[in-house]
Structure 1
Amino acid sequence: MQIDELENNIAQDLAVDLLDEFDRNFERKGFFTDKWPQAKLINNKGSLMMRSGNLRRSIEYDVKKNTISFTSSLPYAAIHNEGGEITVTEKMKRYFWAMYKQAKGVQASQWKALALMKVGHKIKVTKRQMVGNHPQVAGIVKDVIDRNMAEFNNELAKQFKK
């Protein structure tokens, strides 16, 4: 095994292990040990981050040289992961009215309140991080490197015995 092959193995193994852990964040309903805040909207369709499962399935990785990138094709992934503000648009208001017409009880009043917001109003989106740096990521990095180095050392020892 060559050094560049070792580096590639570490990067690939790390990407797979981290993707698995980031996926498990949806089961944990939090970013490793940091629980996500409850959604303000009452909804009987399940957890905010797991209603359709699209966000969870959209997370992918790309390994180039020694760099690993995690991305999502969904436009709302970043606002959930980082938090921030979104601006109410006319299209959003139409969606809120449509949801109001379908909803009942408390849910209906929540959708109506959203629909009555003025275009341009800012809605704060609470951070619900699912991908990124965390102390547990450092532990995963160490484990992957240790595992690959042990394998590399075993291969090297076999070469010297020949």
Structure 2
Amino acid sequence: MSSPDIQKQVENAVKRLNTLYTRTLPVKVGTKAVSLTKKRFSDSAFNGRAWQEPYRRKLSFKGAQASYKTLLSGTNHLRDATYFKPEPGKVYIRNQVDYAQIHNEGGSIKVTAKMKRYFWYRYAAAKGARLTKKRGGLRKTKGNEALTREAMFWRNMALKREGSLIRMPRRHFFGPDANMSKEIRKIIERELQLFVKNYGTYFRESR
């Protein structure tokens, strides 16, 4: 093999390795990290530690509100707002929803006038959805019982003093854990092994 051939082989190898470093690995690692982050919402857990259930499930609210898992809703906005931004040799996993941090870390939030209006709205909606008898009075159904519990929950929330605190339990969904680290390590090892294998094949065929 002549010297120019060696130089070309080295240049091609460096170019392919650079692509692996700057684009392939950041994108694959980012994709896996986002996928595992979103899976925590369906598992309602982080690294095997279950999240605290919301009151709507403990009180068996009626309809969709009762069926949604913790931190999930009709839009799944919080879950689906997780994304990645690849850069050479690294990748950033982000979620810029305003309330992401308080859910992820836990803490307390102050009751505002706007929140109280929303609580009253939800109270009125739940109370008004109950079925009544033709001659007046509520029907004795499980649905009505669930709506009554829901209405009382929202009433109690609405009666909270403006400026008082509502404690938010920590529901850790963001950040690395043992499983994510393991999966990312597997991706890196697999891509490096594939690079060595493919480059070796390319080197042998070009001789």
TM score, norm. by length of structure 2: 0.72
- Partner of 1:5 in structure 2? 19
1:24 Cα deviation after fit: 1.4
1:65 Cα deviation after fit: 2.2
- Partner of 1:47 in structure 2? 69
What code does the residue aligned with 1:31 have?
F
1:155 Cα deviation after fit: 2.3
Structural mapping, 1:1-162, within 5 Å: 1=13, 2=15, 3-7=17-21, 8-41=23-56, 42=59, 43-44=61-62, 45=65, 46-52=68-74, 53-103=76-126, 104-161=147-204, 162=206
What code does the residue aligned with 1:10 have?
L
Q: Distance in 2 between matches of 1:120 and 1:4?
A: 55
Per the alignment, in what secondary structure is the counterpart of residue 55 of structure 2?
coil
How many aligned residue pairs are there? 162
1:101 Cα deviation after fit: 0.8
What code does the residue aligned with 2:45 have?
G
Q: Distance in 2 between matches of 1:19 and 1:6?
A: 19
* Structure 2: runs of 5 or more not aligned: 1-12, 127-146
Q: Distance in 2 between matches of 1:158 and 1:67?
A: 28
* Structure 1: runs of 5 or more not aligned: none
Q: Distance in 1 between matches of 2:93 and 2:185?
A: 19
Q: Distance in 2 between matches of 1:66 and 1:111?
A: 49
Q: Rg: which structure is higher? A: 2
Per the alignment, in what secondary structure is the counterpart of residue 48 of structure 1?
coil
Q: Distance in 2 between matches of 1:110 and 1:85?
A: 18
What code does the residue aligned with 1:6 have?
L
List per-residue Cα deviations over 1:104-130 (Å, max 9, x = no partner).
Answer: 311111111111111111111111122
Q: Distance in 2 between matches of 1:30 and 1:132?
A: 13
List per-residue Cα deviations over 1:108-160 (Å, max 9, x = no partner).
Answer: 11111111111111111111122211111110121011111111101221233
CA RMSD of aligned residues (A): 1.7
In structure 2, relative to structure 1, the CA distance for the partners of 1:28 and 1:48 (3 Å cut) is closer
What code does the residue aligned with 1:57 have?
D
Per the alignment, in what secondary structure is the counterpart of residue 69 of structure 1?
strand
